[in-house]
Amino acid sequence: MIKVIDMRDDKKGDIYGRLPDRISMDDSSIMKTVGEVISSVRQKGDEALMEYASRFDNVKLTAETMRVSKEEIAEAYSRVDGELIEVIRKAKANIEAFHAKQKENSWFSSEKDGVILGQLYRPMEIVGVYVPGGTAAYPSSVLMNVVPAKVAGVPKVVMVTPPKKEGINPAVLVAANEAGVDEIYRIGGAQAVAALAFGTESIPKVDKIVGPGNIYVATAKRMVYGYCDIDAVAGPSEITVVADETANPCFVAADMLSQAEHDVMASAILITTSERLAEEVKKELEKQASRLSRKEIIEKSLENYGAIIITESLEKAMEVANRIAPEHLELCVQEPFSLLGSVRNAGAIFLGNYSSEPLGDYFAGPNHVLPTSGTARFFSPLNVGDFIKKSSIISYSAKALGSVKDDVIRFAEAEGLTAHANAIRIRFE
Amino acid sequence: MIKVIDMRDDKKGDIYGRLPDRISMDDSSIMKTVGEVISSVRQKGDEALMEYASRFDNVKLTAETMRVSKEEIAEAYSRVDGELIEVIRKAKANIEAFHAKQKENSWFSSEKDGVILGQLYRPMEIVGVYVPGGTAAYPSSVLMNVVPAKVAGVPKVVMVTPPKKEGINPAVLVAANEAGVDEIYRIGGAQAVAALAFGTESIPKVDKIVGPGNIYVATAKRMVYGYCDIDAVAGPSEITVVADETANPCFVAADMLSQAEHDVMASAILITTSERLAEEVKKELEKQASRLSRKEIIEKSLENYGAIIITESLEKAMEVANRIAPEHLELCVQEPFSLLGSVRNAGAIFLGNYSSEPLGDYFAGPNHVLPTSGTARFFSPLNVGDFIKKSSIISYSAKALGSVKDDVIRFAEAEGLTAHANAIRIRFE
């Protein structure tokens, strides 16, 4: 099922072109549909939201029922297993503790007489979190998207999720409440994104929209970017395991399968210096997959986007891993920390045989919203800084400005901006 | 020419709706044109670049002449005024010193036995900087876009700029060379953005594209977002001055004019508690504008997007300023630092009567690439962090994983992800 690529004789070591491209350009027909939804919400506000809820979700909404009540949230607690609530609380505490370490302070510096420069850090004021309906409504994702915003100091976090006849997944409501969500609205799709970007009578206009969604939601986010901020573009996800002969084939296969079960587009790749390990992992993949509930998804994912790559050295293995720039990178080798200096592109790095990827998905504390599909070349995990704005600070005394005025005037005049030069000159006339 | 809005009797204090919206949605006809250009560059590479150079720029290019040679750069130095070269060097040193203070370190933390968490910071590997042709080719912008990438540690910075019969502005070439640009290519427009995003025979594929450009360039950047990173969406720029009766009307007017000269869409707004200052600034604007070379642009800008707003208190003035969320905020008041705690949304903050905005544009050190058109609600100035990726680090020992395994398994099973649960369980069987 999974293909094996032997790169030991491949001097170029280039993995591009041997693995399929999983990013694709915007679909213009989807952009047209989404553009119409956005226009409608901008023009008609709540009325448009109610129309779409009726048409797409088959739910009748009013301005009142659009917002999830305190009673519904309280009731959700009674419908969720008590032990799961405890696990959600522990996970939230870990996520909070890790993200608190990302917080940075505003700073000033004064190195020349009469000059103060610096940066003022301020949280955004309102953030919107999109939570998908259906089977992809994960309480863990609610924690991962909301907690960093709250740690950043965002005073108001608004959650939206599609209306459903049977009500919202109670575990999602519990996670939202534990994470500190301030308001929850029963709206979904591109219309929910438009409502958050522009505001309606009931929905507040936000500074940033985060959270996963289907292609309509993702397209709507791209289209409103600039009116508000959005999180990184998310594509199909992946794991790359770099392993030597000390790795446990059974663990490696299990971690690859945990990625493959997400989506038929997900990609699980092993890069190893050990031919024996390659063979054993291949066998383990088949054995373990056969008894997993999502085995059909897993088989398609491994067939199309999985690979076992054999390299002549760990150095070469790391080169290949950096080209892949995986969302999750596991280093299952004898001395994992010694490889850390070779990692250039990865969303999250898991070191050693017991740092299994699902540990990071749920519990360790670092964010599971990670750059996917090779975008770890330039994107980072969701973090506290994503909800902070930095303003530059410039303070010059008259004397300090006087000592550089001729330089500033010369530069402005060289660029033909005479009013800029005038603004400096007039202060010394 | 400029309108005066008295808000002293306006209890709501809402400036929205009283100032025109300056952001607009994507134009679908431009997206179609740009989409075709991108496809053509992806398919035909250099050949497409040469065709567009011939068609749009009326310049014949070869793969060899596409790249600017060392000799051309050396020659540029002989064509630029020696004193301007010195000013460019001083400005670069100031920009470098300020941005060096933004650099952060990777970190680890170990608070539980057998657990190490952290973040690994790595610079991007290749960054592309777009520099417009024509009158908007500003050497100062070259410094502001290139220096933060170099301070971040980006090993290769590639610059592109439209080919022109008369050659590239020599001051731009000098600034590029001083800032440390590694390669310069004579390509422009949407085709240059596509070449950077996807790579061609001559142009390297980059991790991020920064720099200003016309609507085709801006649209192309949005369309390739996800294949690479891009900088924040830039719109028309603005200044807001908050002033009390101690401000100098002549300085305030001069700074407003320096913003207005950029563009007929630029916006210059004064918010003051002093009716006398409002009147004097209005007179100064007319007087100074009449002798400035770009007075036609200035008059249109002030007429359409300028305003003098009178408020009953500085507190109210700051509320209005925060709603505007200006690119440049000047605090021309008796105690400017005392207002800093009230600033929530601003790109760059200039404190006191001698911190004139052009000082920040050219020389002080903080970046002049700032969030515009109200996007300071959520965007920050261009900074070193924009060229750094952060990878999460997770390391758990067998014992540490053992102590949380039941929690992780419970969470995974609650979400229906059985392969995730299996990956943890199998390690303890």
Cβ contact, residue pair A258, B422, below 8 Å: yes
Residue A368 marked ligand-binding: no
Cβ(A392)–Cβ(A108) below 8 Å: no
Annotated binding site of B for substrate: 237, 259, 262, 328, 361, 415, 420
Q: Angle at Cα B8 formed by Cα B7 and Cα B10, nearest 5°?
A: 60
Catalytic-role residue among B280, B299, B319, B327 = B327
The reported pLDDT for the residue numbered B258 is: 96
Nearest by CB to residue A87, choosing from B90, B357, B410, is B410
Express each pLDDT in B290-309 by its tens digit.
Answer: 999 999 999 999 999 999 99
3-state secondary structure of A312: coil
- Which candidate, A181, A154, A179, places its Cα nearest to that of A92? A179
CATH number (3.40.50.620, 3.40.50.1980, 3.30.590.20, 3.40.50.300) of B3-23+235-365 reads: 3.40.50.1980
Q: Which of A223, A227, A395 sits opposite B23 (nearest CB)?
A: A227
pLDDT at A40 over 80: yes
Average pLDDT in chain A:
94
| Closest residue of chain B to A420, computed from CA coordinates | B258
Where does chain A hold its CATH 3.40.50.1980 domain(s)? 3-23+236-365, 28-230
φ, ψ dihedrals at A137, nearest 5°? -85, 90
pLDDT at A10 over 80: no
Q: What is the pLDDT of residue B31?
A: 84
How far apart (Å, rounded) are the C-alpha atoms in residues A420 and A423?
5
Q: Please state the length of chain B.
A: 429
A235 pLDDT more than 70: yes
Residue B21: what pLDDT? 67
Mean pLDDT of B368-395: 96
Q: Give chain B positions within 8 Å (CB) of A128.
A: none
Would you say residue B238 has pLDDT above 90? yes
Task: Write the Ramachandran bin of B352: left for phi over 0, alpha for psi from -120 to 50, otherwise beta.
Answer: left
Task: Indicate the SS3 state at residue A189.
Answer: helix
Q: Is the pLDDT of residue B107 over 90?
A: yes
Chain B: nearest CA to A97, how far in angstroms? 10
Q: What is the mean pLDDT of residues B2-25?
A: 69
Please report the pLDDT score of residue A143 as a whole number: 98
Any idea which of B263-267, B280-284, B360-364 has the lowest mean pLDDT? Answer: B263-267
Residues B308-338: tens digit of each pLDDT: 999 999 999 999 999 999 999 999 999 999 9
Q: For A155-164, what is each residue's pLDDT tens digit?
A: 999 999 999 9
Nearest CA to B116 out of B391, B388, B400, B390 is that of B400
The residue annotated as part of the active site, out of B99, B328, B330, B357, is B328
Mean pLDDT of B341-349: 97
Taking residues A181-210, report their average pLDDT: 97
**Sign for the pseudo-dihedral over CA of B1, B2, B7, B8:** negative
B315 is catalytic: no
Rounded Cα gap, residues B391 and B120, in angstroms: 5
Q: Do B376 and A389 touch (CB under 8 A)?
A: yes
Question: Is the predicted pLDDT of residue A136 greater than 70, yes or no?
Answer: no
Helix/strand/coil for A59: coil
Please answer whether residues B131 and B161 qualify as being in contact, where contact means their C-beta atoms are separated by less than 8 angstroms.
yes
- For residue A353, which residues of chain B lie inside 8 Å, CB to CB? 398, 427
pLDDT for the residue numbered B8: 84
pLDDT of residue A150: 98
pLDDT on residue B30 = 86
Of A116, A362, A381, the CB nearest to B411: A362
What per-residue confidence (pLDDT) applies to B130? Answer: 97
pLDDT of the residue at B235? 80
Domain B28-230: CATH superfamily, name plus number: Nitrogenase molybdenum iron protein domain (3.40.50.1980)
Q: Can you tell me the mean pLDDT for B5-12? A: 75
SS (H, E, C) chain B: CCEEEECCCCCCCCCECCECCCCCCCCHHHHHHHHHHHHHHHHHCHHHHHHHHHHHCCCCCCCCCCECCHHHHHHHHHHCCHHHHHHHHHHHHHHHHHHHCCCCCCEEECCCCCEEEEEEEEECCEEEEECCCHHHCCHHHHHHHHHHHHHHCCCEEEEECCCCCCCCCHHHHHHHHHHCCCEEECCCHHHHHHHHHHCCCCCCCCCEEECCCCHHHHHHHHHHECCEEECCCCCCCEEEEEECCCCCHHHHHHHHHHHHCCCCCCEEEEEECCHHHHHHHHHHHHHHHCCCCCHHHHHHHHHHHCEEEECCCHHHHHHHHHHHCCCEEEEECCCHHHHHHHCCCCCEEEECCCCCHHHHHHCCCCCCCCCCCCHHHCCCCCCHHHHEEEEEEEEECHHHHHHHHHHHHHHHHHCCCHHHHHHHHHHHC
Q: Is the pLDDT of residue A348 over 90?
A: yes
What is the structure's pLDDT at A25? 61
Segment A272-314, tens digit of pLDDT: 999 999 999 999 999 999 999 999 999 999 999 999 999 999 9
Give residues with Cβ within 8 angstroms of A258, minimum separation 6. Answer: A239, A356, A357, A358, B417, B419, B420, B422, B423
Q: How confident is the model at residue A7 (pLDDT cuts 50, 70, 90)?
A: confident
Say yes or no for a CB contact (<8 Å) between B359 and A293: no
Stretch(es) of chain B classified as CATH 3.40.50.1980: 3-23+235-365, 28-230
Q: How far is B208 from chain A (nearest CA, A)?
A: 7
Contact B260, B301 (CB under 8 A): yes
Shortest distance, CA A18 to any CA of chain B (angstroms): 17
Tell whether the model's pLDDT for residue A248 goes beyond 70: yes
Could A362 and B117 be called an inter-chain contact, meaning their C-beta atoms sit closer than 8 Å? no
Average pLDDT, chain B: 94
pLDDT beyond 80 at B222: yes
| Chain A residue whose CA is closest to B234 | A226
Instruction: Please give, rounded to a whole number of angstroms, the shortest distance from the CA of B253 to a CA of chain A.
Output: 8
pLDDT band per the 50, 70, 90 thresholds, residue B1: confident
Mean pLDDT, residues A122-135:
93
Q: From the CA of A311, how many Å to the nearest CA of chain B?
A: 23
> Lowest-confidence range among A6-10, A178-182, B253-257, B382-386?
A6-10
Phi, psi of A425 (to 5 degrees): -60, -40
B13 pLDDT above the threshold of 90: no
Q: Is residue A16 predicted with pLDDT exceeding 60?
A: no
The pLDDT assigned to B183 comes to 98
Mutate to test the interface with B, among A353, A378, A406, A424 (most CBs of B within 10 A): A378
Provide the number of CB pairs (under 8 Å) joining chain A to chain B.
Answer: 382
Model confidence over B78-95: pLDDT tens digits?
A: 999 999 999 999 999 999
Q: What is the predicted ipTM?
A: 0.94
Q: Which of B235, B415, B427 sits opposite A354 (nearest CB)?
A: B427
Q: Which CATH class is domain A3-23+236-365?
A: alpha beta
- Kindly state the average pLDDT of the residues A27-32: 80
A328 an active-site residue? Answer: yes
- Closest Cα to residue B247, out of B358, B362, B368, B355? B355
Question: Is B12 a residue whose pLDDT tops 60?
Answer: no
Q: Is the pLDDT of residue A19 over 90?
A: no
